[in-house]
Structure formats: structure tokens, C-alpha cells
Structure 1
């Protein structure tokens, strides 16, 4: 039985780790918040009180953390994964971080005898719960195949997209597309309502045509209801879009729509709505429209 250490049991990591348990893996979970560890234990996992306890003697170590500095410290810090894991273990980071950080961690890990993959995810809380995530994997092909049974317990679409850092680059592109799509749906809903058209009926019509998308199908209903309970917080999408714009600048690429979406998400966060779901861009559109 593959033994897994899972670090980061939040909105995404918690259900992902629980799905690994359901698939029959031996999973030890660690989180700074003890309440989340207790929920994971209730789901059948093994609780770990420290990072060392979570990763010691584990075949695979997975992290799902908020940002690049968190992952870098967790991987490379004095009390981090590489300091306590057994040589030869496979480290998989499923956070969304800077591609350059992913490459740095991969280089450092390989120099110390670890396998390393960057495998960011898309699909939101629902995808994490239902084990239908899209997983974009960067790293060595042999290690991707070794990890495939682990990925298949958490997601439906597992694609090896290239070498170290490529997973994070594809995730940045994903976040660009999602942000622009959410903004477009938000504007469409406000436009429809301003013209006295029932948005729910209109969405049903739009979903069957070229305008149809996962955002329109899965997120528009809650947007119409103004239900912004976080499945993916705006402040995290703001962070992801800052990763995107920095990576685009480094590559010398112009992304006008991506930049506009990043500015709008940053404005939503700046006015105190960062804890809301990223679909709260609708709220911003209404305010800009004086509605």
C-alpha cells in the first residue's frame, strides 16, 4: 500500500486527502489548524501533529498550500519536507505557485534524492469533493506514471504537460481563462437583468450554444442568487492572477484581457471582498454600474 503524507487540509486539500483515503491509500494529514486535522481523522485518515510525523517513512508527500512562499518554506525549510522525508520519496506540490518557484524546488529536491512534481489543480471545491479535478503535471514522465494512481483518486483529467514548472504555467493560463469567463458571465447577468430578462432562463438558452462553458453551467446559478459562499476565494484568485501577470511579463507576452481581469479581481479584494467566492466579481460589476 502506498503511504501518503498530505500537508494542507483546506477547502481543496481536505476533500482531496479524504478521497485518497476512500481509494484505499494510507494517508497521514497535517494542517496548522488542528480542527481541519480532526475533520480529516473523522473521514478515516491519520492525523499528524507535525510535518515530520506527516512525512516520515511516506512514499509520496503532497502539499496543497496557499502561495509560493508557503510551499518553498514547507519543502526547503529546516523543519520542512526534505528535512524529514526518506530519500527516494516523491514530493508532489498541488498548490498554485510561481513556475520559477516550482523549478527551484524541483532542482533542490532532485539534488537531495527526491522525485518532484508540480501538479496544480482546477475544478474548485466541487471538483475536489467529487474527485473530478483537472490535474496539470510538470516533471519527469516516469515519476508522473508512478503518481498516476494517486492522481486518479483525486481527478478525472490528468495530463503531463511538460518538465518542472510546466504544470504551474498551464495553471496560470487556466486562471486567466477562468477569470475572464467569470467576468464575462457577471457582466452578462447584470446586462440581462437591466433589460428585464430573467437571467436563469437566459442562461439555459446560452448554455446550449457557443457561449456555453463550465462557468456558465456550474457558477452562474449561484451568481444569479448572489450566493458568494467561497468555493474558491477571490483573494486566492487574485494571488493566482498576480502569478500570471508576473510570468507573462517575464516571458515578454502581452495579455490585455488577463491584465484587465487581474485588475478587477484586485479591486474586489481591495474593497474588502477577498473572502467571498471569485464569482463576487458580479458584485463589483453591479457597483460599477450603479445598481
Structure 2
């Protein structure tokens, strides 16, 4: 089985490398050539255009930062679906709206191709270890066919239901990630103002009801080191919470907390933090507390 992986970023690169290690023939495509060359050094193949891969690959996977990127790669004139062969399976690991998933699913079906939305959670650590959570929407028989691929990439793999359902759950995850990120930022800044040692605070909260993976991630990887090198950029979190609000609006659901968190993340982006890790919300809270 010939695979293609489009988007060799922080998540896509380790995921595609794990498929190579598992013995698959994998072609990698990325906007920047250095990442493709790095992938080649790991045993991957490069040098194919989207059109060529659409005709030659059996399964094409995408992991891209923005919905517009996904739409262009899959539906654009030079993209996969307009140029693909029948029975091609397309899997998108990106975080986009359920409505975009359904649009892509319908376009693929019209061309006798299959599409699965399969957003992921678990960060770069999970991508490297092959322990991601994968939430899949689309036809069950296609899911069953590519399950061995999912099981290389993730530890917790779920078929949710129809197209778009995987993204719906991912957006709910991102909603809570955003809220937890803000709560951690506020609590740790308040602790600093109160003269509480942050390492002691973390130790206690980590064995209390306030414990969360987000607190653990943000404190261990970033806050404790005062290093906000991105594992997941704050700008991408803003994109995700905006999609959450769009989803809520489509169901006439109000998210008061979500709206406030969106405002605060927008403020952080205006302060120049968009390329920092999402844990950098604490930097905005520190400025507000001065």
C-alpha cells in the first residue's frame, strides 16, 4: 500500500515517520523543502506533485494548520480530489469545521473516492510516541480498512459516526483546552502575586481535583522553564476556539466562557504572542496583573 502524507509540520512529521518505521512506503509533501529533505533522511520518499500522488497513492493523509489550507489541497484546481483516481482514500488529521468535512466528503463521494475526518489530540509528544487520540468521522467500512494505519499513529482510536462527527468532538476538546489554558494562566499568576512557590503549587494541584493534562503540559514544558517555544501555537488555538464558536452558533448554543476566552486569546495575538506556545497566555495575564 502506497501512502502519501501532506503537511510535515510539528505533528505531521513524526506521524509520517512512524508510518515509515512501520514499513509503509510513504511520500511526504511540505511547503518548505528542508522538512521534505529531513523526511527523506528518515526513509520517506519525496519529489511527487499533488496530482501525481492523487493518481498513484492508495491513501493520502493531510495534517495542515488552517481550514483554507485543507480546502486548497483537497478541493483546489491542482488538488487531490479534482485529480484523484477512483477508490482513493483521503484522511484529514487537521482541525477544521464539521461543515468543511461534509463538503469534502460529498466532493470525494462524487468522484468515487472516500474521505475520513480524523482530527488528533495528544500534542507532539503523542505524535512522536504513536499514542495520539484519533476521532474519526466517515463511513465505517473505510475506517475499518485503514484502521491498521490509525493504530500505528494513535493509542486511542474512535469511530464516531458520519462525516464531520470526528471534528465535532475535536472542537469540544479544543474548547476545554482553551478554558483550561486560561484557568492555569490566571491561577499561576495569582499564585505569583500571593508569593506562592509555583513548583509547590503544581505539586499540590497535580494531586487534587484541579489536576489536568493541560496544567501538567503547560507547567512542565513551558511555565517552569520560562520557555514558550511552540508545541502548539497560540494562533492555532485562536483558530480552533473560533471554530468552536462557529459550531455553537450553528446550533443556537451560547458559550459565555468560550466567548470570553476568545476575546482574551485575541488580545494575546494583538500583543504579539501568536507564534508562542498556547501556554504563553500566562504572559498576557502577567501583564494584566502589573
Instruction: Work out whether the TM-score is over 0.5.
Output: yes
Question: Does the Cα contact within 8 Å between 1:190 and 1:282 map onto a contact in 2?
Answer: yes
State yes or no: 1:102 paired with 2:101.
yes
Does 1:233 find its partner at 2:233? Answer: yes
Q: Are the aligned partners of 2:27 and 2:48 in contact in 1 as well (CA < 8 Å)?
A: no
Does structure 1 retain, via aligned residues, the 8 Å contact 2:81–2:107?
A: no
User: 1:86, 1:213 → 2: CA distance?
Assistant: 45
How many Å separate the matches in 1 of 2:8 and 2:14? 8
Counterpart of 1:197? 196
1:142 and 2:166 aligned: no
Task: Kindly state the Cα deviation for residue 58 of structure 1 after the two structures are TM-superposed.
Answer: 1.2
3-state secondary structure, aligned to 1:161: strand
Contact 1:138 1:162 in 2 (8 A): yes
**SS of match in other structure, 1:220:** helix
Q: Is the 8 A contact 2:123 2:232 kept in 1?
A: yes
Query: Aligned residue pairs: how many?
Result: 289
Q: Secondary structure at the match of 1:219?
A: helix
Correspondence for 2:70: 71
CA distance in 2 between counterparts of 1:172 and 1:90 reads 23
Superposition RMSD in Å: 1.2
Q: Work out whether 1:262 is the aligned partner of 2:259.
A: no
3-state secondary structure, aligned to 2:285 = helix
> Map of 1:92-131 to 2, 5 A cutoff?
92-131=91-130
Deviations 1:18-41 (A, max 9, x none): 111111111001112111111111
Map 1:271-282 onto structure 2 (within 5 A).
Answer: 271-282=271-282
Q: Who is 1:7 aligned against?
A: 6
Question: Residue 54 of structure 2 contacts residue 81 of structure 2 at CA under 8 Å; is this kept in 1?
Answer: no
Q: Is the 8 A contact 2:234 2:274 kept in 1?
A: yes
Unmatched segments (≥5 aa) in structure 1? none
Counterpart in the other structure of 1:27:
26
Q: In structure 1, what is the Cα distance between the partners aligned to 2:184 and 2:121?
A: 19
Unpaired segments of 5 or more residues in structure 2? Answer: none
Contact 1:20 1:150 in 2 (8 A): yes
Per the alignment, in what secondary structure is the counterpart of residue 133 of structure 2? Answer: strand
Shift, 1:49, TM fit: 4.0
Question: Are the counterparts in 2 of residues 9 and 31 from structure 1 also a CA contact under 8 Å?
Answer: yes
Matched residue of 2:56: which SS? coil
User: TM-score, with normalisation over the residues of structure 2?
Assistant: 0.96
